[in-house]
Amino acid sequence: MDYNSNRKKMPLPEYGRNLQNMVDHIMTIEDREERNRAARTVIDIMGNMYPYLRDINDFKHKLWDHLAIMSDFQLDIDYPYDPPRRETFNEPPQRIPYAVGRIKLRHYGKILESLVDKAKNYESGEEKEVLIKLLANHMKKSYLAWNKDAVDDEKIYEDLEILSKGSIKRSDLGLTETKDLLFRPRKKQQPQNNNNRNQKKHRK
């Protein structure tokens, strides 16, 4: 019996054994022009296998890269794109640069801390007061996300002062009640279809 486990391992098994055999056959074609035509035919077959990916940017580029991988980077044809190098897949991934900087109160997040920093530099007036109240209510909602029991408004005012480095001191913003922040409206029941009602009457 010819088991798949005894066959050569496929670099990209998602394309299947038959397509891999086609790529292996192209490697044996001596005439370069014929080899190029065969490669283009295989690319068309690969594209037809996943038609829903045609809208993805550089779809054709990816297919030619896959062809190079399936040929173990040894297929000598006229690639329309620069083929990938074997060394590329042996290089370690680049380190992802993480944002540095200490967050004073982690449960509020870095973005809110930045917004408070912007708000404290606003010119005094109604617009600044509205912005501060919005931020304080958002802080209260964020606080309740990890402590659903309760939170005193005084705690929010204290944290607001800490985040603003003492620039924003408020104690009477009239924040939203905790029960209103935690309340989730129930989904409205969909009205029954008239056809369903008629069917029930008919059964009766």
Which has the minimum average pLDDT: 1-15, 130-144, 182-196?
182-196
Highest average pLDDT, of 21-30, 103-112, 126-135, 195-204, comes from 21-30
- Does residue 112 register a pLDDT over 70? yes
Instruction: Estimate to the nearest angstrom the gap between the alpha carbon of 91 and the chain centroid.
Output: 25
pTM listed for this prediction: 0.48
Q: Under 8 Å CB-to-CB from 91, ≥6 apart: which residues?
A: none
Map out the domains of the chain as residue ranges.
4-87, 110-182
CB-CB contact of 17 with 4 (8 Å): yes
- Does residue 161 register a pLDDT over 80? yes
Q: Under 8 Å CB-to-CB from 47, ≥6 apart: which residues?
A: 54, 59, 60, 63
Q: Summarize pLDDT for 133-156 with one digit per residue, the tens.
A: 999 999 888 888 877 667 888 988
Instruction: Estimate to the nearest angstrom the gap between the alpha carbon of 171 and the chain centroid.
Output: 40
Q: Cα separations (Å) of 58 from 8, 55, 61, 197? A: 30, 9, 5, 53
Tell me what percent of the residues of the chain surpass a pLDDT of 70: 84
Q: Summarize pLDDT for 23-59 with one digit per residue, the tens.
A: 999 999 999 999 999 999 999 999 999 888 777 778 8
- Does residue 185 register a pLDDT over 80? no
Q: Cα separations (Å) of 38 from 27, 34, 47, 70, 75? A: 10, 6, 14, 14, 12
